[in-house]
Amino acid sequence: MAVKKGQTFTGNEKFDKYRAIYYAGASGDYNPIHIDPEFGKMVGLGGVILQGLCTLAFAAKTVTDWAGDPGKLKKIKCRFSAPVMIEDTISVQGTVADVRAGRAKVDLKVINQTGAEVLQNVEAEVEA
C-alpha cells in the first residue's frame, strides 16, 4: 500500500459488557473499577469502565488494520482523557500527517458516541 500525506481511515467498536473482563484476563488488570459495577458506582464512575490500555489497543488495531500488517506499527502514544463505559461505541479517525524516510506519522482522533474525546494527542508511526 502506498501511504500518502492526507490519507484517512476510520474504525468503530462497540464495547460489550464482557470486554473489560476479557481484557482483565489477558492483562491481569483486575482493578475493581473495571470488573465490579457496584464498586464503579461507589467511587463515582457510574459503573464499570474499560481499561485505558484496552481503548488504546483498539486504536492501535484500527491503525494496523489500515496498514495491513501489525508489524508496521512502530510507535503509538496518547493521553487518556475520558473513561470508556461499557456499551460505549468508540470511533477512530486517522489521518496521515507526514511521510518521511519510509515512515508515516498518523494523527488519530478517538471519540465515543457522544463526541467526547476518550484519548487525546494520539499519534502513531507506521512503516510506509
User: Which residues are identified as catalytic?
Assistant: 29, 34, 49, 52
Pick the closest to residue 19 from 64, 55, 70 (CA basis): 55
| Cell output for 113 | 458516541
| Lateral strand order in the sheet of 89-100 | 8-14, 89-100, 103-111, 117-127, 73-80
SS3 61: helix
| Cell output for 96 | 496521515
